Structure 1
Amino acid sequence: MQLHRGRLIDHIQLVVADLPAAKRFYGAVLGALGLPRCGEGDDHVWYDELYISTAESKAAMGQLTGRVHLAFQAPDRGAVDRFHTAGLAAGGRDNGAPGERSYHPGYYSAFLLDPEGNNIEAVYHGPAKFSARSVVVDF
């Protein structure tokens, strides 16, 4: 297990009504981005810092998550394309085909609605022009 320091977000939890659908969708889109499943149980699954559970799980306290927008970093444009294709095949709905966006030069992304209606994006920002400070602590 690794603890990452220097990031804005430590972890995110999505509480969903249909965990099997979420497992199919997130397994497909995150797999397309090269991110493996870290673990799962009867009422949850997690990938890196994303934790997905049922409302009945201890951590959820009985409440579903409201609609959110999550954007995952992609290593290249091809990964964005694979994310979109895999997500559609796994029950996602198109919310913006892969392509350049006007946010900044080189911003290439795709958007999907997951089975719960969340806006899920994969984005490639183009070749890195800076390096972010991040500390990784193994334990």
Structure 2
Amino acid sequence: MVELSEWHRGRLIDHVSLVVADYDACRRFYAAVLAVLGVPLVEGDGYFFADELFVSPGEPTTGRAHLAFQARDEDMVRRFHAAALAAGGRDNGAPGPRSYHPGYYAAFVLDPEGNNIEAVTHGPHRRSAPSVVMSDAD
């Protein structure tokens, strides 16, 4: 079991959990795309996680889900898409602007289980912090 004294979290999503049939394929896929996004993948005993994403093997699988990862800029979205395809993902929407709102630039892929995975940037912006950091109380 991995023990951490510090956790990083976003502000909207606490976590997303996927139960997958082909754990090894999903581990390779998420390791590749998360490396591009600069988010470390942490392996546990029979599962892995990265920030708010938790993936484990099992039956029944969770079925098709949509997950959107934050990307720093359009180049990161393009690199995410290329890494996902190289790691066994299937194209579900090439990198490009979307009409959701001005500045929305995204790419979509299907992971090895058929989940719709997106990387998105919302145009030029400044973050108040890279993440919310929670650490052990002293």
Q: Specify the TM-score bucket, using the shorter chain as the normaliser.
A: 0.7 to 0.9
**Identical positions, percent:** 63
Deviation, structure 1 residue 129? 6.7
Q: Could you tell me whether the CA contact under 8 Å between 2:8 and 2:51 is conserved in 1?
A: no
State the SS of the aligned residue for 1:104. Answer: coil
Aligned to 2:32: 28
Task: Give the RMSD, CA atoms, in angstroms.
Answer: 2.0
State the SS of the aligned residue for 1:75. Answer: coil
Aligned to 1:58: none
Aligned to 1:50: 53
Any gaps of 5 or more consecutive residues in structure 1? 56-61
Q: Name the CA shift for 1:135/1:110 in 2 (closer, same or farther; >3 Å).
A: closer
Aligned to 1:93: 90
Deviation, structure 1 residue 130? 7.7
Distance in 2, matches of 1:6 and 1:45, equals 18
Deviation, structure 1 residue 45? 1.1
Aligned to 1:110: 107
Distance in 1, matches of 2:24 and 2:60, equals 18
Normalising to structure 2: TM-score of the pair?
A: 0.86
Distance in 2, matches of 1:6 and 1:77, equals 20
Normalising to structure 1: TM-score of the pair?
A: 0.85
Deviation, structure 1 residue 8? 2.4
Any gaps of 5 or more consecutive residues in structure 2? none
Residue among 73, 77, 87 paired with 1:76: 73
